[in-house]
Each structure stands twice: as C-alpha cells, then as structure tokens.
Amino acid sequence: MSREKLFFLFDANNQKSVRANAVLSRRYARYLVPSMKEADVVVVLGGDGFMLRSLKKILYYRQSLKKAGRPEPDFKVYGLNFGHVGALLNPCGRFDLLTRLGQARVVPLAPLKARILKTDETYCRGFAFNELSVKALAHQMCHLFVSFKTPTTWRGAPVLGDGVIVSTPAGSTAYYNHAGGTPFPLGSALLGVQSICSATPLREMVPDTVRISIDADHVDRRPVCVVMDNQVVNNVYGCTVKLDRKNAIPVLLNENVRFDVSALISGRARV
C-alpha cells in the first residue's frame, strides 16, 4: 500500500479529529492528493455521525459525476474512530496507517433507497446507510401497515406503536438493536425490520432483495415522519424501501472491528 494516494476528511466540530488531521497530514504528506476524486483511499476522521455524513457526501458526489457524464472515482473509504462507539470505524492508536490499510478487508456498504410520499401529494427520495425508520410525530401511537414484496410473493403486517425500523447490517448494532432487534454481521444478505414500542410487535429478517412498503393510516390525527440516518422528512403518508446495490461504497475495516456478533449482542464488544 506504499503507493496509495490519500485524502483526509475530518470533523471540524471534533477537536480530536482536527488534531489527528493535522498530525496525519504531516506524517503522510507525500501520499496526499488535493481532491477526493484523485484518491485511492478517503480516510474519514470522526465519529459514527460524521462517518454517515461522509458516506452520504461521497454517494451524492458520485451521483453528480454520473449525471454530468464524467467517470466515477474508484476510491475506498477507511474510517478512524474519534467519537464514541465507532461501529463503522477502525480504532485509532499508535500504528502505521499504510500498514493498517494493507491489512484491512473491503466491505461494500449498500444504502437503503427510499421513495417517500408526503401528505401534500409530492414525492421525495433519500438514502440511509444505517437504518430508515417511520415514527410517530404526535403523542398517540401511529397506525402502520408494513408489506414485503418480491416479484412472486407479497405479505403484510399491521403495526400499532411508535414506529418501525428497517436496518441494514451496518446499522443493526445501533438504533435497531436498542429497539429490540438482533444484530447481524456485515456482509449478510439480509435486512432487519423491527417495530418500536408496539402493541402489535413485528420482528423480521428478510432477504435484501425484498422491497418493503410502510404505509400510515389516519395521518391527520396520527402524523408520522421518516428518518434516514440523520435526515428527517415530516408529514408523510409512507414510503417504499429497497437496498440499492448500485450505490454501494467500499469501506475498509480491520479484522478486529465489529465482526464478533455474539459479543455485540451481549454488550461485550470493544471497538
């Protein structure tokens, strides 16, 4: 990896990542390139929230190049944890970055792609690398209907409660897990669906080829919102969700990060 071209993204609101960027930029100055599109590896310095924002930034950047008819960059993403949990980041410490890059494995992270119908009869779209949730906006429980569709089958289930979460493997140790879902490892061809504080509990593991629709009833009295990682869309009728493999981003993870699922479930995981 000695010839890797590097580009650093750092969280300007996190003093640890600001200092790390200064130190690493000096140490690896000979490998730095001035723009992301020239890099072989984009190194993200920050916490989970900044990592998710960076992945979305990269996704939209690639889409803008595609729309302009320009070639998409072929870089990978390597995160260093300067936050708290760091589920998609590698632990920092005394190490040689180039050696760590050479030892890392590539995990393609595909986002959920949502098409959302709003109460004003307009549509919007969004992406989520961790999870998408449909949640109640009022003090009353929301009335949802969740359906699972393939080219040959269809089934559905009602949910009366605070909402529903659809999680990728990357997000299965976060909000989805805290709501009662069981984590599943990166690389699993699955999506997790979990109700939130529901009178009609729903817990499903479905193939990631399934299209999931979530529709809300009585939204005039029981309004709902859609949350996609850190993006919120208020006052919606519902949405359709599907994994978008075409927009997968290759992320580099060292072997000691987030692969011991039994430890994650028991709370013994260290990252």
What does the pLDDT look like over 19-59, one tens digit per residue? 999 999 999 999 999 999 999 999 999 999 999 999 999 99
Domain 6-110+248-266 has CATH 3.40.50.10330: yes
Q: Is the pLDDT of residue 219 over 90?
A: yes
Domain boundaries defined on the chain: 6-110+248-266, 112-246
pLDDT of residue 86: 76
Please report the pLDDT score of residue 1 as a whole number.
46
Q: How confident is the model at residue 12 (pLDDT cuts 50, 70, 90)?
A: very high
Residue 95's pLDDT band, with cuts at 50, 70 and 90, is confident
- pLDDT tens digit sequence for 136-176: 998 889 999 999 999 889 999 999 999 999 999 999 988 99
Indicate if the pLDDT at residue 256 is higher than 70.
Answer: no
- Find the DSSP H helices in 68-174: 97-103
Q: From 74, 78, 86, select the one nearest 105 (Cα to Cα).
A: 78
From residue 90, give the alpha-carbon distance in Å to each of 129, 193, 229, 268: 17, 27, 20, 17
6-110+248-266 and 112-246: identical CATH topology:
no
Query: CA 149 to CA 158: how far, in whole Å?
Result: 15
Whether 266 has a pLDDT exceeding 50, the answer reads: no
Q: What percent of the chain has pLDDT over 90?
A: 79
Whether 269 shows a pLDDT value over 50: the answer reads no
Phi, psi of 155 (to 5 degrees): -155, 160
217 has catalytic annotation: no
pLDDT, residue 179, reads 92
On the question of pLDDT at 104 being above 60, the answer is yes
Q: Which CATH number fits domain 112-246: 1.10.3720.10, 3.40.50.300, 2.60.200.30, 2.30.30.40?
A: 2.60.200.30
**Buried b or exposed e, range 170-208, using 16+ CB within 10 angstroms:** bbbbbbbbebebebbebebebbbbbbbebeeebebebee
Tell me, what's the pLDDT at 257? 55
Reported confidence tier of residue 16, pLDDT bands at 50, 70, 90:
very high
Average model confidence (pLDDT) across the chain? 90
* Catalytic pick among 11, 40, 48, 220: 48
